[in-house]
């Protein structure tokens, strides 16, 4: 029988992740927090929450009703709210690796991730460009797609965490084709959209202005669109990014594919920051996350906003078939 639990990684221990995990997972029987149990107990204590932490020896193990279920990963060094420590970078990576392993073996239905701090992980000597890329490597898949959702707006990315100077070279025919196939397939399979309509943005201003402002649209993007349209995909583009998000353009569209991170996500986050959800498409399991960072300035203050992580948990439940 399919397991009925999601794993929630608590993220950077000096950030707001542990607080968010404690506030949202306490007493929730379908959630298991992957974190240091001592950190969770201390967080619950300063929150004034008397929920006990139940340390599990497996994802399937029973937890007492009303407890916070924890799959333990020990911190390397004590965590101090708001103060990054490279010593705990390996701890953060281990929580992700363990959660992914359980999803891959089927002992968990999916995973939800609280924010991590990419800088401190890299400062510790661990090459890490983000959850999306790390989980793709764990799953052994050659390509995944990062998509954020807010209300009825879905924005997926052709490239993820790359410097701007490297983006044109990363817009390649095979990669873009694969990205659109993954987006189309998961809109159908996970979001139950029978015949998705996807808006595809150009890379350059005015979608290249007929080649006068860049050739990627003519050489790569438009040919990929035409090839997939011939297979029955409903695609519009390449579209200028500055007008693609107008209401009349978005009407009837199920998703927008942006060519790079800061082309599509500022609009998405303006529309729904604090309520948006990051979904990784193309994985063999469900993974959702928040739309924000570690908020070190709010860690330990009790002022962390739970909206985005709550939405990520709700979406993971729906995508996993756990929602009522």
Instruction: Please give the annotated binding residues for a divalent metal cation, written as ranges.
Output: 161, 206, 261
3-class DSSP assignment, residue 160:
coil
Annotated binding site: 131-132, 161, 206, 261, 269, 278, 287
Radius of gyration in angstroms for the set of CA atoms belonging to the chain, rounded to a whole number? 20
For residue 73, which phi and psi values (nearest 5 degrees)? -135, 120
DSSP H or E segment with residue 148: strand 145-150
69 conformational bin, left if phi > 0, alpha if psi -120 to 50, beta if neither: beta
Q: What is the per-residue burial (b if ≥16 Cβ within 10 Å, else e) of 220-237?
A: bbbebbeebeeeebebbb
Task: Give 77's DSSP letter.
Answer: S
3-class DSSP assignment, residue 112:
strand
Q: Do residues 236 and 200 lie in contact, with contact meaning Cβ atoms separated by under 8 Å?
A: yes
The pairing of beta strand 197-201 with beta strand 255-258: parallel
Assess whether the previous peptide bond of 146 is cis (omega < 30° from 0).
Answer: no
Task: Name residue, tokens 């968990």.
Answer: 108
Annotated binding site for substrate: 131-132, 269, 278, 287
């Amino acid at each position: 029988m399919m397991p009925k639990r999601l794993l929630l990684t608590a993220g950077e221990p000096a950030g707001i992740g542990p607080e968010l995990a404690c506030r949202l997972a306490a007493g929730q029987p379908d959630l298991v927090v992957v974190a240091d149990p001592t950190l969770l107990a201390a967080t619950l204590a300063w929150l004034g929450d008397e929920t006990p932490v139940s340390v599990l020896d497996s994802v399937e193990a029973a937890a007492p009703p009303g407890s916070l279920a924890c799959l333990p990963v020990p911190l390397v060094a004590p965590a101090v709210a708001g103060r990054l420590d490279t010593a705990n970078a390996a701890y953060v990576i281990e929580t992700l690796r363990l959660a992914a392993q359980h999803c891959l073996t089927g002992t968990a239905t999916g995973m939800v991730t609280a924010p991590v701090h990419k800088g401190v992980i890299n400062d510790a000597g661990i090459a890490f460009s983000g959850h999306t890329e790390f989980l793709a490597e764990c799953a052994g898949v050659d390509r995944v797609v990062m998509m954020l959702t807010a209300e009825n707006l879905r924005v997926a990315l052709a490239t993820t965490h790359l410097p701007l100077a490297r983006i044109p070279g990363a817009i390649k025919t095979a990669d873009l084709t694969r990205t659109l196939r993954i987006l189309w397939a998961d809109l159908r399979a996970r979001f139950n959209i029978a015949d998705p309509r996807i808006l595809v943005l150009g890379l350059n201003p005015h979608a290249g202005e007929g080649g006068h402002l860049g050739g990627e649209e003519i050489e790569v993007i438009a040919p990929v669109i035409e090839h997939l349209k011939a297979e029955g995909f409903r695609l519009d583009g390449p579209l200028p990014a500055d007008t693609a998000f107008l209401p009349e353009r978005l009407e009837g569209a199920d998703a927008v594919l942006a060519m790079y991170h800061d082309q599509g996500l500022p609009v998405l986050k303006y529309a729904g920051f604090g309520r948006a959800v990051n979904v990784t498409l193309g994985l063999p399991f469900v993974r959702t996350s928040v739309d924000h960072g570690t908020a070190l300035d709010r860690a330990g203050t009790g002022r962390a906003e739970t909206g985005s992580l709550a939405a990520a948990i709700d979406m993971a439940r729906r995508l996993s078939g756990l929602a009522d």
